[in-house]
Amino acid sequence: MLSKGLSGVLAARAAALLPGSACLGLLGAGLRGVSTSWSPVGAAFNVKPQGSRLDLFGERRGLFGVPELTAPEGFRVAQENALRKTDLLVARACSTPPGLQTVRLFDELSDTLCRVADLADFVKIAHPEPAFREAAEEACRSIGTMVEKLNTNVELYQSLQRLLADKKLMDSLDAETRRVAELFMFDFEISGIHLDKEERRRAVDLNVRILDLSSTFLAGANLPAKIEKHLLPEHVHQHFVRAGGHIVVDGLHAEAPDDLVREAAYKIFLYPNAGQLRCLEELLSSRDRLARLVGYPTYSHRALQGTIAKTPETVMEFLEKLSDKLAERTKKDFEMMRRMKMKLNPQNSELMPWDPPYYSGVLRAERYNIEPSVYCPFFSLGACMEGLNILFNRLFGISLYAEQPAKGEVWCEDVRKLAVVHDTEGLLGHIYCDFFQRAGKPHQDCHFTVRGGRLEEDGRYQLPVAVLMLHLPHSSRSSPTLLTPGMMENLFHEMGHAMHSMLGRTRYQHTAGTRCPTDFAEVPSVLMEYFANDYRVVSQFARHYQTGQAMPKTLVSRLCESKKVCAAADMQLQVFYAALDQTYHGPHPLRGSTTALLQEAQERLYGLPYVPNTAWQLRFSHLVGYGAKYYSYLMSRAVASMVWKECFLPDPFDRATGERYRREMLAHGGGREPMLLVQGMLQKCPSVDDLVSALISDLDPDFETFLLDSE
């Protein structure tokens, strides 16, 4: 999952713990030579970190090595320096004759603001100290105010417009520079800079209102629900938090074995909240008004500019065709779940929306015996990190080394710092690994690009810096941190984002690494899941932490096949969510209430009945960070599936294929049209039917597993 931050100087985009990209360049470019402080990555993650607490006399550096950030007050210094530099860059950009230097100045302007904004975006949600979080929050507001000013700076807009209007001059620029200039102009125009003064004011007001509503909606989407104790049977109380005379429900409890617990959680947690409903309606309406004000028929048309899909019509064609192909498989999945429910609960065997997560899990366990405790001993964190190191070394010639952070460089003593080093190119960048649970830390697995790569004027390359945030258990006295199969897969997924950041080598930070369209940004991370489920890869690192025994092939095969149990129903649910997202961001006024539209989409595209007096859409937090783009999860998986099967399946360690993948897909960030990157890798432009077929083929059972199980 990517963290969304400011992805450019001209667009204030909501920062949420949802998959986009961040950008920062406050740190120095760093040395590319060999460091004597590097140590093997596997061992580093199977022991507790040493040294940072004992470094009493070392020079204290700020967070991420930024000198100002030794204390919370440093954020004010950093933001004031950035704002002063911004004023100078704006003046230069407005007075410079149109040409290559115009684009360079715009990118430097973007980088200057992102240096503070995106570091602050991470710190405000991850730092354990309230003073740092509050200072970072204030820095985000300060930079956001400057972004709003730049959005309405007509002179700055005109300086870029003069360049784009000169065809001869544009033709003389390289393709990447032309694209970046067009992206900056797109950011201007979606903010309404080309409108008259009154319309421009309305556009700015709508942008501000949308950000406020987004923040309010996100907070409401995660707010626990309360109900008076006496309204629930007493034996159910123990499954929830009790607060005085109330029961507090903080989620759906989807894995609870008791049907009544799941039903109660579903109906209470999803009970409509009038304030949250008004907030959603105003958010959708404001997005629609802004889109139409700046020249788009719907918000979805605006959001899909530059993506793989390009238009809402293509998205809906993809979803409808996928739904048609899934229909029979989904019916069979629901029928299996119904039979299991009847077996376990004969008095109430109707399958309801709160049932699939639990009964599909029961079916998986019964069929494949995939108890996590069987797998965890083979997946120590150090072994998994060494597995990633082996894979990246063979595919790209890259090694991961643990590097001792300086005093004050990290925000928690158990954060590890990795150097990403290429055999011939040297140091490519750094990854900070914030992997372990702690009080107040968000529970989502997430990737942050803390600094984007960028070619500097002196010819040096500004090296990227990323953070991976997971929620893993700490090691114990008797064992290292042991991962469940799901945790291992999530680690591979997030490291896919990190490698996208590390291997991107764009000239401009505006398009560095993961700063690319959403439906392409998830491709490298989802592709890593295929590696994580291939025995040839897993066998390289999965060793029992006590005995050294290799994980048997049958265990990996059963785990992979277990994920296909009821997978059609799971995918059908994602189709329903994605289609609902498109409906909400389609033509306005909507043809019914958000709840009525949900009921219609659920019954048409999912198949399980809508439950009266529920409003699941009010908990759909992805409507903020992924508004009109929720389909990206499915489309990215389809592209990743095609890349895996057509390129990596024959040999997941093939160096030539790895180098081609880097060259064709990873190196360009958002500097090329995403479909051109896909086409370069696959040697063809995939159709909607190709994408649908790739997803459907992933559901087919692997005959080899049945042979292994029968041996």
For the annotated catalytic residues, the residue numbers are 494
Tokens of 662: 């880097």
Axis crossing angle, helix 485-503 with helix 523-532, rounded to the nearest 10? 140
Residue written as token pair 């070394």: 393
How far, in Å, CA of 336 to CA of 47, rounded?
45
Q: Is-contact 682 642, C-beta < 8 A?
A: yes
Residue 293 · residue 195 · CB < 8 Å: yes
Q: How far apart are CA 104 and CA 456, in angstroms?
A: 9
Q: What is the 3-state secondary structure (H, E, C) of 60-123?
A: CCCHHHCHHHHCCCHHHHHHHHHHHHHHHHHHHHHHCCCCHHHHHHHHHHHHHHHHHHHHHHHH
Sign of the CA dihedral with 92 first, then 97, 99, and 100 last? negative
Paired with 243 in beta bridges are 246
Pairing relation of β-strands 225-228 and 246-249?
Answer: antiparallel
- CA 641 – CA 458 distance, rounded (Å): 41
* Own/partner long-range contacts of 652-656 (Cβ < 8 Å, ≥24 apart): 652/391, 652/531, 652/534, 652/536, 652/537, 653/391, 653/394, 653/395, 653/536, 653/537, 654/395, 655/394, 655/395, 655/397
List Cβ neighbours of 690 (8 Å cut-off, separation of 6 or more): 642
Tokens of 457: 């004027």
Residues 6 or more apart in contact with residue 160 via CB below 8 angstroms: 102, 106, 181, 184, 185, 188
Neighbours of 135 (CB within 10 A): 24
Is residue 222 left, alpha or beta, with left meaning phi > 0 and alpha meaning psi from -120 to 50?
A: alpha
Q: What is the secondary structure of 572-585 as a DSSP string? A: HHHHHHHHHHHHHT
Sort 286 into a burial class: Cβ within 10 Å, 0-12 / 13-18 / 19+. Answer: buried
* DSSP code per residue over 201-213: HHHHHHHHHHHHH
**Residues paired with 419 in a beta bridge:** 401, 430
Q: Taking every pair of C-alpha atoms in the chain, what is the biggest distance, in angstroms?
A: 78
Give the closest residue to 690 by CA, choosing from 645, 626, 652: 645
DSSP 314: H
Burial class (CB in 10 A: 0-12, 13-18, 19+), 390: middle
Q: Which amino acid is at 344?
A: L
How many C-beta neighbours within 10 Å does residue 614 have?
21
Closest to 63 in 3D by CA, of 127, 110, 113, 4: 127
The 3-state DSSP class for residue 178 equals helix
The residue to which tokens 């629900």 are assigned = 225
Q: CA angle at residue 468 from 507 to 637, to 5 degrees?
A: 75
